[in-house]
Structure 1
Amino acid sequence: MDVRQLAAIVAIADHGTFSAAARSLFTVQSNVSGHVSRLEKELGVTLVDRANGGLTEDGAKVVERARRVLNEIEDITSDMTSRHDRVSGHTRIGVIGTTARWLTPSLLRQLTVDHPNVRAVIREGASSSLVPNVMSGELNAAVIHLPIDEPELVVEPLFAEDLFLLVDGNHHLGGHDTIPIRDLDDEPLLLPPTGSALRKVLDRSAAANDVRLRPQAEIDGVRLLASLALDGFGAAIVPATAVPTWLTGTFRRINVPELPRRVVASVRRRRPTPSAPTHVALDTLRRVIAEQGELQPGVHPETSALPGLRHDDSDT
């Protein structure tokens, strides 16, 4: 088994066919086919369904581990070329959509100024999808929202943001500026799916106030939740950054005093230690949030906004 074989099977997974994989690897199709055939022979399994296209079940398992191996090799190269002040290489960072909208432009600009030889590959997604990708090594780090319970991850809270009830101007609650959470008891709401991080926060707050949150629909995606509320489909509880500062219209942001703030954090694996590009990218991320976070309505980067949380920088 060698790196070329692993790269070939991953390329097929990413691009769908032998010919497309060959183009992505700047080689010819026969080379890709040969690498995959030798890997299949060595492992004693079929990795690619040549009749119907795509990977077999065994192929999908191999690709998951192959990605991790290839990413670790890339990180080794980055570390060895970044032994002095000049850091270079790639870092793969996931960001939840609401945070990505305001944070990513500033992060990339500052990273270009401070570390022009570092290239950040940004992936947008929900916390539920980003966390497993960090665990598997497909991502070096991610910006997600708490709570999570993964002891193999280093979690560093970055900022807190307000939660509010978002409604269209014609909604029957649209005349309110503030609503106690008890008035939402059994009110049809657009909610995140049961078990998601944000839903856990909402359910705990409701239970503490003896309130039942009734889902009109469960939506996996905060920005989609906000869009549906803005379009008049229903009322949604969303974080402040779900509604861009430039957006205008007849919608209403309604304060619900009993709702806690949502905490957004960075996560990375405890082992191995982060690559040099990942390390400087996370440093830049923290600095951008400290300098610009308070300019975002409803965002609170100050330490006092994170009660009961601490910077977890331990690798033990």
Structure 2
Amino acid sequence: MLDLERLRALHSVATYGSVSAAADVLHVTTSAVSQQLAKLERETGQKLLERNGRGVRLTDAAELLVGHAEKILSLVEQAQADLEAHRGSVVGQLTLAAFPTAVRGLMPQALRRLRAEHPDLRVLVREEDPLHSMPLVLRGDLDMAVVQDWNNEPLPLPEGLHKGAICDDVADVALPAGHPLAGRDSVDLKELAGDPWISSVPDSICCDWLLRTLRAVDSEPRIEHMAYEFATQLALVAAGIGNAILPRLGRCDVPPDVAVVPLAEPLTRRVYAVWREEAARRPAIRAAVTALRAGVPDSAVRAA
């Protein structure tokens, strides 16, 4: 009989492209993964990996086995979810990722509630950009992710994932206190065309969205500085070297040299949780969504 953990090791090598990458994902040593694969080769009587330069490649037998392994692992997850649902208890472990402002603005309250109401549930949280976290949920490396999209640019939901809305979050523009529009009650993005901007780092959902949003009102936005944390962006705005878009969820203290001005045409992002279809019946998933919704601060609007 094929061993489940050995199939998981082979599936991880196929998914991530190397033994070392699979070991990182499985939180074991490369030696442990190699031993699992060697035992699987003995079990099947087939060569599964071949040298390919400095790495490895899967043989035809391995590719065939990986296809079955994916179905088997999915069925195992579904069985575990069904057992949890049948028992009705919120137990076990839940691995969850969220983008930075959600980690700061939602997670502390949600984790406190989960710990108080479901002490037998262990929740592991990591900070991750939605562009990276959704594939990790789809592959089974995470149980759930808290992600975002904007009213002017929805985020496609990959097939095989479910989602549940958590809240709506409004964004304002942060201007240096000496900016000519800093004293306004509201400002139109078109009035800021040609200004220098401060953005999140490249290849993040916030940076990509800001570029497309500003291009809609300006030929080519001047993104002159990039920083991942909003606190760092605000420090740069306070120095008078650019503007930034500032969502209200998880907003840190605003320096005195920064003016936060609402936009005349509001930019709103929808925050929601995503999980795999196979895990939809897990009580832990439902409990986490409930806790996240209950922890929404007054600056955001809870999902209906």
Does the alignment reach a TM-score above 0.5?
yes
Q: Which residue of 2 aligns with 1:114?
A: 117
Match among 260, 264, 268 for residue 257 of structure 1: 264
Q: Which residue of 1 aligns with 2:196?
A: 188
User: SS where residue 172 of structure 2 aligns?
Assistant: strand
Q: Which amino acid aligns with 1:86?
A: S
Q: Which residue of 2 aligns with 1:159?
A: 167
Contact 1:145–1:265 (Cα < 8 Å) also in 2: yes
Q: Which residue of 2 aligns with 1:25?
A: none
Unaligned runs of 5+ in 2: 13-18
What is the rounded CA distance, in whole Å, between the counterparts of 1:68 and 1:94 in structure 2? 24
Match among 218, 228, 231 for residue 233 of structure 2: 228
Q: Does 1:143 align with 2:146?
A: yes
Does 1 or 2 have the higher relative contact order (CA < 8 Å, sep 6+)? 2
- RMSD value over aligned CA atoms? 4.1
What is the rounded CA distance, in whole Å, between the counterparts of 2:204 and 2:87 in structure 1? 44
What is the rounded CA distance, in whole Å, between the counterparts of 1:45 and 1:95 in structure 2? 36
Change (3 A) 1:228 1:197: closer
| 1:181, distance to aligned residue in structure 2 (A) | 1.9
Identity within the alignment, %? 21
Unaligned runs of 5+ in 1: 23-28, 304-316
What is the rounded CA distance, in whole Å, between the counterparts of 1:35 and 1:15 in structure 2? 11
Change (3 A) 1:286 1:69: farther
Moved more, 165-174 or 229-238: 165-174
Contact 1:166–1:252 (Cα < 8 Å) also in 2: yes
| 1:158, distance to aligned residue in structure 2 (A) | 1.9
Contact 1:142–1:268 (Cα < 8 Å) also in 2: yes
User: SS where residue 37 of structure 1 aligns?
Assistant: helix
Q: Which residue of 2 aligns with 1:310?
A: none
Structure with the largest fraction of strand: 2
User: SS where residue 163 of structure 2 aligns?
Assistant: strand
Q: TM-score, normalised by structure 2?
A: 0.71
Contact 2:85–2:282 (Cα < 8 Å) also in 1: no
Change (3 A) 1:34 1:132: closer
Q: Deviations over 1:36-70 (max 9, x none)?
A: 22335656343789x96xx64659x999x979966
Change (3 A) 1:120 1:194: closer
Change (3 A) 1:48 1:7: farther
Change (3 A) 1:44 1:190: farther
Q: Which residue of 2 aligns with 1:276?
A: 283
Q: Does 1:243 align with 2:248?
A: no
User: SS where residue 228 of structure 1 aligns?
Assistant: helix
| 1:8, distance to aligned residue in structure 2 (A) | 5.4
Match among 176, 187, 191 for residue 179 of structure 1: 187
| 1:217, distance to aligned residue in structure 2 (A) | 4.2
Contact 2:104–2:250 (Cα < 8 Å) also in 1: no
What is the rounded CA distance, in whole Å, between the counterparts of 1:216 and 1:151 in structure 2? 30
What is the rounded CA distance, in whole Å, between the counterparts of 1:261 and 1:214 in structure 2? 20
Contact 1:92–1:141 (Cα < 8 Å) also in 2: yes
Q: Which amino acid aligns with 1:35?
A: Q
